[in-house]
Amino acid sequence: MPKISTILSTLIAIMFFLSMAPPLIKTLQKNYEEALKPKTKVGRIYIKGGITESQTYQKNLEALFKDDSVKAILLEMDCPGGTVGHSQALFLEIIALKKLYNKPIVTVVENICASGGYYIACATDFIIAPPGAIIGSIGCYIGQFKYKELMEFFKVHHKVNQSGKFKTILNPYGDDESYEGDALIQHISDEVYEQFVRDVARARGLITKKRHEWADGKIFTAKDAQRMSLINKTGYLSEAVAKIKSLANIETEIEWVRPKKPSVFKKLIGIEDFETQSYIHSFLEIVWTFFHAKAQGIENNV
């Protein structure tokens, strides 16, 4: 005959299970219904910090544009700027991908979208930012450090044998730049600036003759930027989602698709920087996967 303590323990367990069953069943039912709801895939890419490379972003954008199951793309931006070539490359890449795949892409700003970051954003179909976010800084500069006097103070001499009259104009250890050298650097800065202004004007439908109002390097709040047509709307994520649904004719809930992160192995050997894996890298990855699976007690059977 069972002990009274055992019977009580059993009764308590049954009562506990019965008390937990309704909310558990309700949660399972909710999750099941949620899983059955039709959803539309939308890509989501995050650009944060200064732009110092473009290849990773380019590959992620291309993959999302090429994926037929992805109907639109959200570009989340929190960027103060970056190098000219990388920013311009991404601007041109988005323009080209839009023509090839006819897929809407919307930018939503978190806190700042300036200089190179804005260059990239203005290639998208719509820009949304919180009213107090920082927008603009449309301009260009080439910075130089000069250490000649400091080196002379420490009696350090730097000698260069050069071929080409302007080869060392950006050398921080050499003489002060000549008039011709300074003019060349200014020409490059002006040329890049003209390209920046032209691309922004075309993308945003602005008048280049009024560039002094929006392209003199000034930063603006998103509220002021909207008045100058630098962005389309003030708001944040909910407004961006609504705009994406409108542009892509989406009537269902959205399922976000984010770029895949590289494996630990790829990060260790920098394999993501190559267009095609070499046979050696492929072999090493197979070996890595095999021993990693063994260490985790995982085996594949066929």
Per-residue model confidence (pLDDT) at position 274: 42
Per-residue model confidence (pLDDT) at position 300: 41
Per-residue pLDDT reduced to its tens digit, 38-50:
899 999 999 999 9
The kind and range of the H/E element at 20 are: helix 4-36
Give the relative orientation of helices 55-66 and 84-101 as an angle to the nearest 10 degrees: 10
Per-residue model confidence (pLDDT) at position 276: 44
**Phi, psi (5° rounding) for residue 165?**
-55, -40
Per-residue pLDDT band for 232 (boundaries 50, 70, 90) equals very high
Distance in Å from the first CA to the final CA of the chain: 52
Q: Which of 178, 182, 172 shows the shortest CA–CA distance to 148? A: 172
Instruction: Identify the sign of the CA torsion 224, 229, 234, 236.
Output: negative
Per-residue pLDDT reduced to its tens digit, 241-269:
999 999 999 999 999 999 877 655 555 55
CA gap 161, 223 in Å, rounded = 54
Q: In percent, how much of the chain has pLDDT > 70?
A: 75
Per-residue pLDDT reduced to its tens digit, 81-116:
999 999 999 999 999 999 999 999 999 999 999 999
| Residue 113 in tokens | 């979208």
CA gap 15, 177 in Å, rounded = 86
